[in-house]
Amino acid sequence: MKTFIYIFLVCISTSLFAQKNPSDYFKNPKTKVLVVGAFHFDYPNLDAHKINKEDQIDVLSPKTAKEVTELVEYIKKFKPTKIAIEAWPKWNANQKLKEYTEGKHRDQRDERYQLAMRIASELKINELFSVDASSVLGDLMERFNKADSLYFKRLIEDYDYKSDDPVSQQFATFYKSSDPKNFKSLLKTFLYMNSKEYHRFGYGAYLSGDFKLREYDGADMLAMNWYDRNLRIFRNIQNIPHTSEDRVLVIVGNGHAAVLRQLFTFSAEYEFIEFSSLK
């Protein structure tokens, strides 16, 4: 009889644990975060995907300036309390923000002015957090390049994000699909660029082409350079003082946004807010 009762209790206990949702173990209040992946408004064309001059838009032109306003008003619905931007500390974001609130820099096309500073100014947020970071590859090359230059020279050889294989060609066409000229407004562009489906393929772009370079060189480059940089950006965002009451707005290049989506989605500390969900 005792054996039967023991087995019965074990079965009940096992059943209860089996029915529990994994998220039930993480009930701590989470900080909401909205990642806004952008193209660079001033078109420095430093990324692998270049935008031809004729396909570029001028965010200062009367028509597009109205679209910028529409986009800003949409993002403001998130009601951020903290704003993080893709910038280095030496960029002096908070000094520039102070000058922006005094009326300067309004003619700068850079999205850090057109979006981040404008939103901060209109919502009376007096601090921006610069969260850009170098990669461990850059650190190692700077520290050990003289002693081990042959290793790094071989590792980075031919890794330039340019490939002509069929999958890479598909990604080239895919990236062109997000050119603003293809949409009725900037807001429509951002809704497309920041969709879960777009980020899925944007993330996957790094797993083809140069990723297959030699045996592991491409994989090591992705890990040590691009992916590590995004992990460090995520770590910098973690360092922003925050509580569950805060709402953190992150404005970065959309390539970063695709990786940050994954990191924030799987973090037990944050609640990732879909760009399309703002009301």
* Model pLDDT for residues 223-272, shown as the tens digit of each residue: 888 899 999 999 999 999 988 899 999 999 988 999 999 999 999 899 99
**Range from 29-33, 44-48, 107-111 carrying the lowest mean pLDDT:** 44-48
Nearest alpha carbon to residue 255 among 182, 178, 184, 180: 178
pTM: 0.84
Q: Is the pLDDT of residue 167 over 80?
A: no
Cβ contacts of residue 235 below 8 Å, gap of 6+? Answer: 133
Strands 31-38 and 270-272: parallel
Q: What share of the chain is helix, strand, coil (3-state, %, to 5)?
A: 60, 10, 35
Cα Rg of the chain (Å, integer): 23
Q: What is the pLDDT of residue 47?
A: 58
At 184 the pLDDT is 85
Higher confidence at residue 253 or residue 205? 253
* Residue 173's pLDDT band (cuts 50, 70, 90): confident
Instruction: Label residue 130 by pLDDT band (50, 70, 90).
Output: very high
